[in-house]
Amino acid sequence: MGDHWDRPGWTDGKRTYYWMLTFSRATELLGLAEHCQKALHHLGMDPVPSDGLHVTMLRVGPTDQVSMDQVQQLLALTQDLPSRAFRLLAHPLAGSRGAIRFSLTPWRPVIHLHAALTDADERVGIPGGRPTSAFRPHLGIAYNNRARPAAPVVDAVEQLRSLPPAVLDVTVELVELRRQDRAYRWRTVHSVPLRPGVPSQLSIPSR
């Protein structure tokens, strides 16, 4: 595994606009994340703070490359997103080269939301991020902070993969993101409402 924080361009003073999903009142998620973080404490990774849990949806662009006029245009375009309100399940625990994270299901509403946000970015003519075809929804709970063999991490995570999922209500936010003390912190620029709708019944797997 590699060091998650070894990323060129992320200086202490850098500020970048992102679309994110946030979960400030998701008590199920907070409890599940804390349980897993305690179980993985011996690995010495950097846990994501309870008020820092998020899903990165889409990069908008550095604050010095996106004008306030463009931000206002973007917010105007996203006041009536085609996506309806939906819920997600955070499960099972998995990993990448630089983090331990929950997988998210179902993918369909998140992919549709990503596509709608990408379309808004393109219409405003801002830098934007990766295309929807490259988007893989996930929710990180700990960041790897050094080069290490993956096998011990895989073994530790395996013990937690059968935990019941957490149900998430989705809040879509445009944020000004920064890195601070080996964590991601942000200032919320605007919360964007999704169209009212009855969330579809989630199929929670039995364990």
pLDDT band at 162 (very low <50, low <70, confident <90, very high): very high
The answer on pLDDT for 104 being more than 70 is yes
d(CA 31, CA 123): 39
Q: Are 127 and 133 in contact (CB under 8 A)?
A: no
Q: State which amino acid sits at residue 167.
A: V
The answer on pLDDT for 207 being more than 80 is no
Q: Are 52 and 164 in contact (CB under 8 A)?
A: no
Q: State which amino acid sits at residue 196.
A: P
Three-state DSSP at 60 gives: strand
pLDDT band at 100 (very low <50, low <70, confident <90, very high): very high
Handedness of CA 197, 198, 200, 204 (dihedral sign): positive
pLDDT 10s digits, 137-147: 999 999 999 99
Phi-psi category of residue 204: left, alpha or beta, with phi > 0 → left and psi -120 to 50 → alpha: beta
State the pLDDT at residue 68: 95
Three-state DSSP at 13 gives: coil
**Dihedral angle over CA of 120, 126, 131, 134, nearest 10:** -120
Question: How high does pLDDT run on average in the chain?
Answer: 92
pLDDT over 90 percentage in the chain: 80
pLDDT 10s digits, 176-201: 999 998 999 999 999 998 877 655 55
pLDDT over 70 percentage in the chain: 95
State the pLDDT at residue 57: 96
d(CA 116, CA 103): 21
Give the pairing type, strands 138-143 and 171-179: unpaired
Least confident of 63-67, 125-129, 134-138, 148-152: 125-129
Phi-psi category of residue 44: left, alpha or beta, with phi > 0 → left and psi -120 to 50 → alpha: left
For the entire predicted model, the pTM comes to 0.91
Q: What is the DSSP letter of 84?
A: B
